[in-house]
Amino acid sequence: MSGESLVRVENLYRYYGDFCAVNDLSFELKRGEVLGLLGANGAGKSTTMRMLSGNLAPSAGRIWIAGHDILDQPRQAKAALGYLPDQPPLYRELTVDEYLLFCARLSGVTRKACAAAVSRAKERCGLQEAGRRVIGNLSKGFQQRVGIAQAIIHEPEIVILDEPTVGLDPIQIREIRTLISELATAHSVILSTHILPEIQAVCSRVQIIHRGALVLNDTLEGLQRRMQAANLLASFHAPPAVVDLEGMPGVERVEQIAPGRFRLHVAAGMQLAEELVMLSVQRGWRLFELTAERISLEQIFVEITTRDSTAPLAHGEAA
Amino acid sequence: MIPLIAARDLRSLFVSPLAWTILAIVEALLAYLFLGQVDFFLQIQPRLAGLENAPGVTEVVVSPLFGNAAMVMLLVVPMVTMRLLSDERRNLTMPLLLSAPVSMTQIVLGKYLGVIGFLALMLLLLALMPLALLLGGGLDFGMLAGCLLGLLLLLGSFAAIGLFMSSLTTQPTIAAISTFGVLLLLWIVDWNRAPAGDGDGSGLLGYLSMTRHYEALLQGSFNSADVVYYLLIIVGFLVLAIRRLDADRLQH
């Protein structure tokens, strides 16, 4: 994960009238990283991406794309990024080839290199057969692919994809995910989604945005560690009292789910299973079920976004 | 980048039936007007022959033809320009241009150049009509050049106003109606002054009127003030369109 930082965002704000859509957002993205922006509808994901791509001016704060300030040197900054908005920006009356050729030239690909760039983008997005078809007649999935092809046609260093897999069938979603993982080898990718498994499938870094503010910024490994810091489910034929269990070192809280069945909230980093088994044998609790419960990303997400706090909590490294 | 955007626009225009329909209908209307004018010339030709300093075929046929063509264009140009930017907004294709390494000025100029290309094609088709008269006689080429320049400048101003109006809205029809309103207003702005005033149109309203500057060029008198008037309109409205697109990014 070491490398130069391709995207740097500092104290970004965006207001729509009095409504604050993006509230003091700062982060960095290094080469080779895939950043997943996660958030409920209306959390400010699209607004953030529109600002990163230069479509929307921030109310305050600065954005550097590949070392260029997007407001001071928009041309250099925009040359380094490819952007797919939530609705693919397609000219429906053109054919795929015409459209991609236009996009390539527009993004500054030289005339000579255009044909190669178009065929390469088509190949990566599985559009080889569709070159001569009119975009308006393509299915939604293919239109989405054309949109992605458009974003990567000039081999930008940063690819910004706003909900790239919306409206696709499961097979296409898998293909797009493979494509994103492929892109990540040479480019940096920022993608937004509200589909949680997608984040786990392709992202190396996750940010959760809630009401415009960054509430979580962590690598996927960090997140997985957090998900393992989990609970134990234990069932006994001769159950002990709750206080006995609570007395064990490392147990934060004990919940009785059913008679004889408990959920033990374990403090982060503690391994309790072995000790529990030993204790059960010593005291004759007759343990017959012991399950490690993992927190899913969904639980983390729900916990963070429904926590009713005005002050956003920053977790992990460098929020 | 500017020619690229212009070419894309023209391409989209010509794959839709709109461009062809407009070209065909305008051509038919102008041909009808042209033939009427030629017919009129043939009728009065014997009488003209007796006059000293008689007006030639260019004055009798070509100038009125261009005068009428301007009226037709007043109706047609809003239809051509209405979709320029409003369609990009409506189809959500604006982000493509905005996230590409091109400036707002390049986008607006590209759009403008595209529509000028289309209008120039119309002008070319129109110019062929008087040139056909060469088969049977001579033409005053200076005057024809004045007419062509006049109509080109006029169309240029129409298009700039239309482009600006199109930048204001997402609804093409609203863009068309407001363009038409502004054009018509600039066309008739000095009408109610004419009977009461000094009649030579030297007042402010007279200067604002598109008609006066156009008529001067149709008469074959090239006055730099007229040309500057049109250039001012073109540059002014293009700058407004650029500012308008810039403002899009700032506020919502």
> Hey, where are the domains in chain A?
81-155, 230-294
Closest alpha carbon within chain B to A54: B99
| Contact in structure between B183 and B78 (CB atoms under 8 Å) | yes
Where b means 16+ CB within 10 Å and e means fewer, B97-122 reads bbbbbbebebbbbbbbbbbbebbeeb
pLDDT tens digits along A193-241:
877 778 888 888 888 888 888 888 888 887 777 766 567 888 888 888 8
Could you tell me which of B64, B70, B73 has the C-alpha nearest to residue B23? B73
How far is Cα A297 from Cα A225, in angstroms, rounded to an integer?
11
| Contact in structure between A215 and A304 (CB atoms under 8 Å) | yes
Neighbours of B31 (CB within 10 A): 14
pLDDT greater than 60 at residue A308 = no
pLDDT tens digits along B135-187:
877 888 888 898 999 999 999 999 999 999 999 999 999 999 999 999 999 99
Place of tokens 């109310």: A59
Higher pLDDT, A30 or B53: A30
pLDDT at B51 (0 to 100): 78
CA dist list (Å): B163 to A108, B35, B174, B187 = 25, 33, 12, 18
pLDDT tens digits along A166-179:
777 888 888 888 88
Interface-testing mutation among B20, B96, B98, with chain A (most A C-beta atoms within 10 A): B96
> Sorting pLDDT into bands at 50, 70 and 90, what band is A307?
low
Contacting A residues, span 4-23, partner chain B, CB-CB under 8 Å: 16-17
Higher pLDDT, A56 or A310: A56
Quote the distance between the C-alpha of residue A28 and its chain's center: 14
CA dist list (Å): A82 to A149, A187, B98 = 10, 10, 11
The tally of CA atoms less than 13 A away on the side-chain side of residue B73 is 26
Distance from CA of A120 to the nearest CA of B (A): 19
For chain B, the domains span 2-251
How far is Cα A263 from Cα A258, in angstroms, rounded to an integer?
10
Interface contact flag, A94 B92, Cβ < 8 Å: no
Residues of A whose CB is below 8 A from B5: 106
pTM of the predicted structure, to 2 decimals: 0.84
The alpha-helical segments, DSSP class H, found in A125-241 are 140-152, 170-186, 196-202, 220-228
Interface contact flag, B12 A55, Cβ < 8 Å: no
CB contact A94 to B (< 8 Å): yes
Q: What percent of chain B has pLDDT above 70?
A: 95
Whether ipTM tops 0.95, in short, is no
pLDDT at A310 (0 to 100): 43
**What is the CATH code for A230-294?**
3.30.70.100
Ramachandran area for residue A236 (φ above 0: left; ψ -120 to 50: alpha; else beta): beta
pLDDT greater than 60 at residue B198 = no
Interface contact flag, A55 B98, Cβ < 8 Å: yes
pLDDT greater than 50 at residue A318 = no
pLDDT greater than 50 at residue B46 = yes
pLDDT tens digits along A85-127:
988 999 999 999 999 999 999 998 999 999 999 999 998 888 8
- Alpha-carbon dihedral sign for residues B48, B51, B56, B61: negative
